[in-house]
Amino acid sequence: DVKVTQSSRYLVKRTGEKVFLECVQDMDHENMFWYRQDPGLGLRLIYFSYDVKMKEKGDIPEGYSVSREKKERFSLILESASTNQTSMYLCASRGRPETQYFGPGTRLLVL
C-alpha cells in the first residue's frame, strides 16, 4: 500500500512565523503535490514537483514556497504566516497510472 505521511496533524503558529510542513512518501513516486482545502472552495493546488529539485506553481502559490531535496520528501514553506493561511493542507503523491494518494492532512491555525 502507498503510504503518504505528513509531519503534523495539527499546528498552531503566530502571524509572521516561518512554517514548515513536511510530506513523505514511501513508493518512489516522482510527482508530489501540495493542496489547501477550505470550506466551499474545495481543494486548490499550491505547488507540485515532478522530480528532485523541480517544482511548478499551482493555482495559488502566493505566500508559499516548496523544497524537494530528496525524492521521498516534499516540503511546503510559509515564509511569513498570515491569518488567511489558516487552512487544511493536504499532500499527495502520484502513482501510476495518474492516481494521487493523499496524506492525512495538517490543520494549520495562524493566530
Partner 1 sequence: AQSVTQPDIHITVSEGASLELRCNYSYGATPYLFWYVQSPGQGLQLLLKYFSGDTLVQGIKGFEAEFKRSQSSFNLRKPSVHWSDAAEYFCAVGERGSQGNLIFGKGTKLSVKP
Residues that bind partner 1 (CB under 8 A): 4, 31, 33, 40-43, 45, 48, 50, 56, 58, 90, 92, 94, 97-105, 107
CB of 29 to partner 1, least distance (A): 9
SS3 85: helix
SS3 64: strand
CA atoms within a 13 Å half-sphere pointing along the CA-CB vector of 87 = 22
Report d(CA 47, CA 63) in Å as an integer.
11
Quick one: how far is CA 62 from the chain centroid? Answer: 14
User: Nearer to partner 1 by C-beta: 17 or 56?
Assistant: 56
Intra-chain end-to-end CA distance of the chain, in Å: 37
CB of 19 to partner 1, least distance (A): 19
User: Nearer to partner 1 by C-beta: 13 or 102?
Assistant: 102
CB of 102 to partner 1, least distance (A): 4
CB of 9 to partner 1, least distance (A): 8
CA atoms within a 13 Å half-sphere pointing along the CA-CB vector of 50 = 4
User: Nearer to partner 1 by C-beta: 45 or 77?
Assistant: 45
User: Nearer to partner 1 by C-beta: 17 or 59?
Assistant: 59
